[in-house]
Amino acid sequence: MITETIKKHTLGSVTITVDVVNFCQGSDWFNELYTATDEHQAGTTVQIPSDLQDRCGPKFVIGQYKPSELAKSYAKQGRENPSREAYASLQKELRHYIEAQDCSLRCTIEKAGIELAETYGISFEHSHVYGQDLEELGAEMLKDYGMGFVSEAVAEAKAVLERLAA
């Protein structure tokens, strides 16, 4: 597990920390989105990039989008070489899902160095295919999808303090 802090706020003796956590395990989405095959089917399969192929593993996949369908869409958009662009786009997406790591945002709340709450939220996948580093993507996820899980951590910390005070 790799953890990077993306936001930290201290108020008195209470510290709220939001981290992006890489669980260092592959994405579950690859198996959900792709079906492996050893046979090339024109307009249907996408070749796994050679640097990502296992020696004895499949060489092609059938994904959620067929190259032929995407090429038709690209042709309607007036792209110069719709077939090549569609295939390249699908290979890039495939590379992302092969390399992607399962990640999440985590909020911890400490008072005087004692952890009161820890909440996970906003799960996502990260790979370097699209050019973002993990901290950058985590900060974007926090901004785009809100701080609801931070509120949950605050409520949990308050409940712990109330139980301790009782």
pLDDT tens across the length of the chain (166 residues): 889 999 999 999 999 999 999 998 887 778 888 888 889 999 899 988 888 887 667 889 998 899 999 999 999 999 999 999 999 999 999 988 888 899 999 999 999 989 999 999 889 989 988 888 999 999 999 998 877 888 899 899 999 988 888 7
What's the whole-model pTM score?
0.75
What's the confidence (pLDDT) of residue 149?
86
What's the confidence (pLDDT) of residue 23?
92
Torsion sign (Cα): 143, 146, 151, 152: negative
